[in-house]
Amino acid sequence: MKTKDIHISEYNYELPDERIAKFPKAERDHSKLLVYNKGEVGEDIFYNLPNYLPQGALMVYNNTKVIQARLHFRKETGALIEIFLLEPAEPADYEQMFQQTRRCSWLCLVGNQKKWKEGTLSRELRIKDEELRVSATRRGEHGTSQWIDFEWDNERVNFAEILDVMGELPIPPYLNRETQESDKTTYQTVYSKIKGSVAAPTAGLHFTERVLKDVDDRGIEREEVTLHVGAGTFKPVKSDTIGEHPMHTEYIAVRRHTLERLLAHNCEVIAVGTTSVRTLESLYYMGLKVMQNPDIAEDQLHVNQWEPYGDGSTVNASLSQMEPSPIPSTCDAIRALLDWMLRKELTVLHSSTQIIIAPGYTYHIVKMLITNFHQPQSTLLLLVSAFVKGDWHKIYDYALAHDFRFLSYGDSSLLIP
């Protein structure tokens, strides 16, 4: 069966609400760890994770930080309007955005927008003994989101500081509860540092400084990538077949040093979380693009949803023309991407990916995966199934039968196919 013809109904399972963890464990690394090793399933406690990892390996995790992306304004009529920040529009660069003073623009979702058909919303704030008024104006629709212009009347305050005071952390909708003060800490990984996500890379929530030290003590190298997790991560697959499901785009940043470490480890890694997987696997296809066009611009490296599946895209068309030459190896592609960065004098690669990883996909870089338990009929479950060669039922049946906690604040698994 072609990947596009997969019926999402085949990736369903019964998940009772009481199995969804509404809050994390009091101690992060005391969560349960399911260990799937070449078809065998067992369990342990997360703080013992390093015992299962090969010495001298390379572990890669996502260092993105969740922003307080939910902003609330009240109209003079009393109607409460929620503006949910999705991605920066002007400027489009995340780092520049958070340093803006006076004004900026975001693509957003608007809650209760029937009550906000026109006009400007405003709210007064006090930040670091500075008074200011923040206003929001709708410029119009932009695809499925709204373009919102923000302005404020104090140039001594940047937008990051406004979010820290005015914003609310967006916890997953399936928790069915209000955000609490504790979520500001528990819904961030201990290594988060690059602001931009509206959802946490939840596999990383189990790590503590103690576990990271044990990883280091085993001689395992650690590298960071950045993928800013968008609200699309919660988007359900509504179509019967996944070929009709539009995958969301997410923005990534990868250091040149990380590519060098990949090559030093034969382009084989332990990935922490599905966001790291999507970032790492996208690098292979970016490398192929560079091999085909050494002068390609950075903004042309975007990986399309179906690029890995021979859909007639530029990459696959070029690969077919390479016959009878062999398809480039993973390290060939990564080396080409590294050489391209050196020529362009780039220390960090900034790009985006729309890749969907589902049964039929061939993994190039990720050899071991640490991940939580995902929603039924989700693209994340498809990714897991592709990784364990269709054996996901064994994993999830065991987790359900052995009192594992599910989803963002739930327990985790180590998958070794």
| CATH of residue 24 | 3.40.1780.10
290 lies in the same domain as 351: yes
Q: Is 348 within 8 Å of 338 (Cβ atoms)?
A: no
Angstrom CA distances, 4 to 177, 236, 274, 301, stand at: 36, 16, 20, 23
174 inside domain:
no
86 lies in the same domain as 194: no
79 lies in the same domain as 191: no
Q: Which amino acid is at 291?
A: M
Q: Give the list of residues 6+ apart from residue 75 with CB closer than 8 angstroms, or none.
A: 81, 115, 116, 119, 121
43 lies in the same domain as 154: no
313 lies in the same domain as 406: yes
Q: Is 74 within 8 Å of 81 (Cβ atoms)?
A: yes
176 inside domain:
no
345 inside domain:
yes
Among 68, 31, 64, 61, which Cα is nearest to 171's? Answer: 68
DSSP H/E element including 274: helix 274-292
Whole-model pTM: value is: 0.92
CA quadruple 386, 387, 393, 399: dihedral sign? negative
Of 168, 200, 234, which residue constitutes the final position of a domain? Answer: 168
Q: Looking up tokens 């302005």, which residue turns up? A: 151
112 lies in the same domain as 76: yes
324 lies in the same domain as 220: yes
Alpha helix locations (H) across 72-208?
94-98, 159-166, 183-186
Q: What's the helix, strand, coil split of the chain in %, to 5?
A: 35, 30, 35
Of 110, 139, 168, which residue constitutes the final position of a domain? Answer: 168
149 lies in the same domain as 254: no
175 inside domain:
no
- What pLDDT is stored for residue 317 in this prediction? 47
308 lies in the same domain as 208: yes
301 lies in the same domain as 252: yes
**Could you count the other beta carbons within 10 Å of the beta carbon of residue 177?**
9
Q: Is 39 left (phi over 0), alpha (psi -120 to 50) or beta?
A: left
219 inside domain:
yes
157 inside domain:
yes
Q: Return the biggest CA–CA distance within the chain.
A: 70
Of 168, 200, 226, which residue constitutes the final position of a domain? Answer: 168
314 lies in the same domain as 337: yes
Distance CA 22, CA 321 (A): 52
Q: Hey, is 300 helix, strand or coil? A: helix
Q: Give the list of residues 6+ apart from residue 220 with CB closer than 8 angstroms, or none.
A: 50, 53, 54, 55, 56, 57, 58, 59, 270
- What pLDDT is stored for residue 92 in this prediction? 92
179 inside domain:
no
Please, what is the end-to-end C-alpha distance for the chain in angstroms? 21
Can you state the angle between helices 330-344 and 274-292, rounded to 10 degrees? 70
How many domains are contained in the chain? 2
Q: In the numeric block, which tokens belong to residue 337? A: 């991407």
26 inside domain:
yes
- Across the strands, what pairs with 146? 108, 141
Range of the domain at 155: 69-168
Angstrom CA distances, 309 to 140, 312, 329, 345, 367, stand at: 36, 9, 16, 32, 20
Q: In the numeric block, which tokens belong to residue 245? A: 């499901």
247 lies in the same domain as 362: yes
Q: Give the list of residues 6+ apart from residue 295 with CB closer than 8 angstroms, or none.
A: none
Q: Is 356 within 8 Å of 305 (Cβ atoms)?
A: yes
Q: Is 323 exposed, middle or buried (0-12, 13-18, 19+ CB in 10 A)?
A: exposed
- Across the strands, what pairs with 138? 148
Instruction: Tell me the pLDDT of the chain (417 aa) as tens digits.
Output: 799 999 999 999 999 999 999 999 999 999 999 999 999 999 999 999 999 999 999 999 999 999 999 999 999 888 999 999 999 999 999 999 999 999 999 999 999 988 998 889 999 999 988 899 999 999 998 888 999 999 999 989 999 999 999 999 999 989 999 999 999 999 999 999 999 999 999 999 999 999 999 999 999 999 999 999 987 777 788 999 999 999 989 999 999 999 999 999 999 999 999 999 999 999 999 999 999 999 999 999 999 999 999 864 545 544 444 444 578 999 999 999 999 999 999 999 999 999 999 999 999 999 999 999 999 999 999 999 999 999 999 999 999 999 999 999 999 999 999
